[in-house]
Amino acid sequence: MLIRLRTAIERGETSCSELVRQYLARIEETRHLNAYVEVYAEEALNRAAELDEKFKREPSAAGPLFGAVVSIKDVICHEGHEVTAGSRILQGFRSLYSATAVERLLKADAIIIGRVNCDEFAMGSTNESSFHGPARNGEDPSKVPGGSSGGSAVAVQTDTCLVSIGSDTGGSVRQPAAFCGVTGFKPTYGRISRYGLLAYASSFDQIGLIAREVSDIAAVLQVIAGPDDFDATALPEAPDIKLEPEQQAGRMRIACFDKALHHPGMNPDIRQLTLQFIEQLKGEGHVVENVEFDYLDYLIPTYYVLTTAEASSNLSRYDGIRFGYRAGDATNIRETYTKSRTAGFGTEVKRRILLGTFVLSAGYYDAYYAKAQQMRRLIRDRTRDILHQYDFILMPASPLPPWKIGEVVNDPVAMYLADIFTVQANLSGCPAIAFPIGRDGDGMPVGIQLMADLLQESKLLSFSQQFAGKC
């Protein structure tokens, strides 16, 4: 899409200003979906006018993302702009600096049109825990868009931006992409700097991308990925992201888990569409084989023990003293901490802080946290062992289709189990992509997930391009 937009601009058929006006009109038309928590209308129009003038003066000076209108998730810092992580505790807080990813977007001549809704501190799979209210699925506004990057998925789904920059801790760009019928991509851990991304669980958190077309994801990834002095976990080598035709035509070896495909919690329509997609792959000459993976039932417990432990530490900085919300009726520092955090955090965030504090506490650390770390290593080693023998691992993006808003709000375990097929990529650090493969009996999108070995983004994107965006 980006290439077609740029060609249209070069031919004088449109302009950055016209594109922004069209996107702003779509945002207004879809306000009822609550995808955006803030729209930078005037700022985006002014930047578009500047880029149009720059292009008139010297077309060759246009950056690689010239013509790309982007939204950013409400956990990514943008200097001088509010960032709340969907939480009351950060209401009114303005960032003092921009995330590395945002700086690189702007340097490449992208236009940021607004910040989009998400689960509070990216903790959730429904986008219902946001202080700004739930985002709604554009296919059916009575249903969830997935989470935590639900606003990002809806923003792309409803054509209010070209690409949305989200975050992915356990599937937070892939699951909502599957629920909304678009493409969500998580790179190798460390591929994109986390500097300026509000932390949930630092050894899992990643910036991810949602778009309709794989080529747009590849173009943005090439720009924002790479080493960063502000993030010690950023990989030291700059990537060379290319969509390679031979990866589309070549015969691939793909692993799948029979236990996952016949999981008791799997929706029958999703199982059927997944099996049909596997037959399609076989019909095109690819090898798809069942392999043993004995840790499927350990994925969710391992993920939630470790992420909640990290969250309890990361969120300790929100204390009502240094920035953000402060309770006005506190009479001493202890009351300030207690009342500010009690009123500032939502139910799901408090639940995860308490769980994380518990698993790190004396007497329980070895029983839970230490064992979960050991389990993570086993999962990572087995995943990489499979990916040394196969090109990709295939699984559904979610065992369930989008559910009604409010349906699981009082059943957190059901929400956690919806992540069963996406957390493996975060536990192992591997790149993964989700894209639509059809619709269920209610007409809602169904997504598939492919996972590749570390640093194999080009291979994964190239292969996925022939399928993504076709349903």
* Cβ neighbours around 394 below 10 Å, total: 21
**Strands 432-439 and 445-451: what pairing?**
antiparallel
Using DSSP, state whether 186 is helix, strand or coil: strand
Run of H or E residues at 6: helix 2-10
462 part of the active site: no
CA angle, 201 as apex, 266 and 397 as ends, to 5°?
20
Q: Which residues of 255-274 are buried (b: 16+ CB within 10 A; e: fewer)?
A: bbbeebbebeebbebbbebb
Q: Is the peptide bond preceding residue 71 cis, with omega within 30 degrees of 0?
A: no
- Write down the catalytic residue from 95, 129, 172, 428: 172
172 part of the active site: yes
259 part of the active site: no
Whole-angstrom Cα distance, residue 432 to residue 449?
Answer: 7
Closest CA to 111 of 62, 152, 144, 67: 67
Q: Is 217 in contact with 174 (CB distance < 8 Å)?
A: no
* Cβ neighbours around 331 below 10 Å, total: 8
Whole-angstrom Cα distance, residue 428 to residue 313?
Answer: 22
- Write down the catalytic residue from 17, 71, 73, 129: 73
- Write down the catalytic residue from 125, 148, 164, 340: 148
Residue ranges of E strands in 212-341: 253-256, 287-290
Positions marked catalytic: 73, 148, 172
